[in-house]
Amino acid sequence: MQVPNQHRQHFIGGAWRDPVAGRYRPAKSPGTGDTIGEVAEGERQDAALAIEAAKSGHEALSQMTRWQRADLCHRVADSIETQKDYLAYILALEQGKPLKSEAYGEIEAAATGFREAAELFKFMNGDFIPAETPGKRVISFRVPRGIYAVVTPWNFPINIPVEYLAPCLAAGNAVVWAPAPTTSLCASALMQCIADAGVPDGAVNLVHGPGAVVGDELVVNPDTHGIGFTGSPVTGAKIAQRGAGKPMLLELGGNGPVIVLDDADIERAARAAADGAFINAGQVCAATGRVLCTRTTYDELAQRITAAAQELVLGDPLQPATTVGPLNNHAVIEKVEAHVADGLARGGTLLAGGCRKPELGSDLYYAPTVMADLGEDADLNRAETFGPVAPIIVCRDEEEILRVANAAGHGLAAGVFSRDLAKAFRFAERVGAGLVNINGPSHYWELHIPFGGAPGKQSGLGRLGGRHTLHAVTEIKTISYDLG
């Protein structure tokens, strides 16, 4: 398949537009290093123009009934499904995830996201509130906030935007969206699906460009009324400061522990840990960040995870046999290398991988890696690696497992494996993570399930997922009336 229309502009006020400064930058494929298109390089003025256009978009959406906006969301889902082959292709080409095993699944999830938001908000009720004053009646209901600034990452460049765009549209918010620069072609392809569905002009606007410029303008501009962001804790902290006072929904990543208790089904735990470490080349916020066990289970667990890593097919994401593609960009592969080097310097042992594979087509391929003999001071334990690495940390006992799990600064998702359900639940309640999966991988999630970080951790603010996102992008309006 050839990529059509490789010249990508902004989408502002219902039309594709050149950037104000007239500058474009190349889009490259991580699998080959080849230039596959050119994308508008936006500035603050482009973002400001999009925010101005969003005002009329919000007005148009606010005049629509919930049923009309639901129909609009379903039309977007129809458009995504119609274009699924192209969307999956451009996703594999520009992001790097395997076409057959992963890209199509992301496209299906995106269509589902629009359909779920449509139906959930359509039937989201308000309240009839009893009043102490005789003759008074009080009702409350949810209304849109206005214009949402949405800034999204490159690891799931189709579906993560949908987690914000679909609820905003269903609820009546206009959106100005700044996607990650390295997956701008993916963002443009999704934007075309939204435009083809007939959204009102200005209802969804797409502005390409550096996050520190375009994204920052969206965050600080007084004419945006809410912020949605998925990305790193460092950037999230900056956004929280720059957008202080605005409602925010921030999903900021994790370093999910997969906890294997002594009575666990080791085969099941190893399979889940490997799946979570290597899916999307480890570029998942709820990935298996580290595997925690005792010496009792270590030998079998390490052997099975290593075998799983060695069975994977690293290669061209467009080839059907590929199960792991390249990393998306040089910053992430350099961090992976730094974390692995730190682990080796601290006495860690490589059981698999641990190197780039440039012979596969570019210098962004990194072999699925398993590392053992790590202490809790290793970067692989303390920080989010965001690459295809499964670090195994042996603890003295199960209480130390819990302490090590909770000592890290992230608290997004975790997995706990045990045949004793009562013990597993006790562990799950004590693990500092917003989502804990018992006898399942740390990255298990469905679109309607609440997803976000634990208190006191660096994994974000608020909850994504179903009605929880809809609550976040709306506010309660209360009206009283007097019967006389």
Exposed, middle or buried by CB within 10 Å (0-12, 13-18, 19+), for 223?
middle
Tokens 């409350």 — which residue?
140
Spatial separation of the C-alpha atoms in residues 137 and 43, rounded to whole Å: 49
Spatial separation of the C-alpha atoms in residues 93 and 328, rounded to whole Å: 10
CB atoms within 10 A of CB 378: 23
In Å, how far are 140, 277, 346, 353, 457 from 391, measured between CA atoms? 50, 9, 13, 12, 21
Amino acid at position 453, single letter: G
Nearest to 162, CA basis, from 210, 228, 82 = 228
User: DSSP alpha helices (H): ranges in 329-463?
Assistant: 330-345, 379-382, 398-407, 421-430
Exposed, middle or buried by CB within 10 Å (0-12, 13-18, 19+), for 455?
exposed
Exposed, middle or buried by CB within 10 Å (0-12, 13-18, 19+), for 467?
middle
17, two tokens: 């537009």
The answer to whether residue 251 is catalytic is yes
Q: Are 387 and 371 in contact (CB under 8 A)?
A: no
Nearest to 149, CA basis, from 238, 219, 208 = 219
Which of these is catalytic: 251, 384, 395, 398?
Answer: 251
Tokens 């409602």 — which residue?
247
Spatial separation of the C-alpha atoms in residues 308 and 271, rounded to whole Å: 7
Spatial separation of the C-alpha atoms in residues 316 and 101, rounded to whole Å: 12
Nearest to 115, CA basis, from 149, 154, 69 = 69
User: DSSP alpha helices (H): ranges in 131-255?
Assistant: 159-171, 184-196, 216-220, 233-242
> Running DSSP on this structure, what letter comes out for residue 190?
H
Which of these is catalytic: 193, 285, 293, 395?
Answer: 285
Amino acid at position 98, single letter: P
Give the active site residues.
Answer: 251, 285
